[in-house]
Amino acid sequence: MGFLSVLSLAHRWASERIQPGEPVIDATVGNGVDTLFLADRTGPRGSVYGFDIQPLALARTHERLQSLGSRLPKVSLYLESHARMLDIIPREIVGQTAAVLFNLGYLPGADDTKEVITEPASTLTAMQAALTVLRPGGILSIVLYTGHPGGAEEAGAVTAWANGLPADTGQAVVYRMIQKPEAPYLIGIEKKE
């Protein structure tokens, strides 16, 4: 049967926590796979906020979301760094958000977008913001890649940050294939109730 992929497990963690109608955030919309998943989970009464710094990512995500038709929730996509999350999202979802997903690295599917990657400083700022935005019991998930230039450094910085989180802020776990150190891995943080 095998173990779940990191992407499937990230979705499972979020599915188990998102109630229909709750606000959710995709911090790196990319090709829109995670945004579509979040939109489907929160449903037509919910709201989805998405960030990316590439217009192509927002365009692909907007197109992918159309498959939900009348089930589409309110979706706000921002051509902004996720580091600005707290300045941009509505105040009323701060402390009320069920899930914030990060899928780091570059936009897959086009060679010329591989130079635009997530960077440790803005990623750490955004993850700290995500902890503020989450409701108690909400989930922050981060998919990390070590194979591209800069990836291992970013993954190391994120792992150190999660490792140092006080237990009264949240519970942090790592999901990793220990025989394949180069494979993507997943960190989950559940905000303390």
Residues found near ligand SAM in the complex (CB under 6 A): 28-34, 51-54, 57, 81-83, 103, 105-107, 116, 118, 122
Looking at the Cβ atoms of 114 and 192, the one nearer to ligand SAM is 114
Choose between 92 and 115: whose C-beta lies nearer to ligand SAM: 115
In the bound complex, what is the minimum distance in angstroms from residue 40's beta carbon to ligand SAM? 13
- H or E segment at 78? strand 74-79
CA distance 170 to 27: 19
Smallest separation, CB 168 to ligand SAM (Å): 28
Residue 46 has a CB neighbour count (10 Å cut-off) of 22
Closest distance to ligand SAM from the beta carbon of 60 (Å): 8
Residues near 166 by beta carbon (within 8 Å), at least 6 away in sequence: none
Quote the least distance from Cβ 119 to ligand SAM, whole Å: 7
Beta bridge partners of 24: 48, 99
DSSP string for residues in 102-135: EE-SB-TT-GGGTT-B--HHHHHHHHHHHHHHEE
Residue closer to ligand SAM, measured from CB, 17 or 60:
60
Give CA–CA dist 141/132, Å, rounded.
14
Q: How far is the CB of 80 from ligand SAM (least distance, A)?
A: 7
By beta-carbon proximity to ligand SAM, the closer residue of 39 and 162 is 39
Which residue, judged by CB position, is nearest to ligand SAM in the bound state? 30
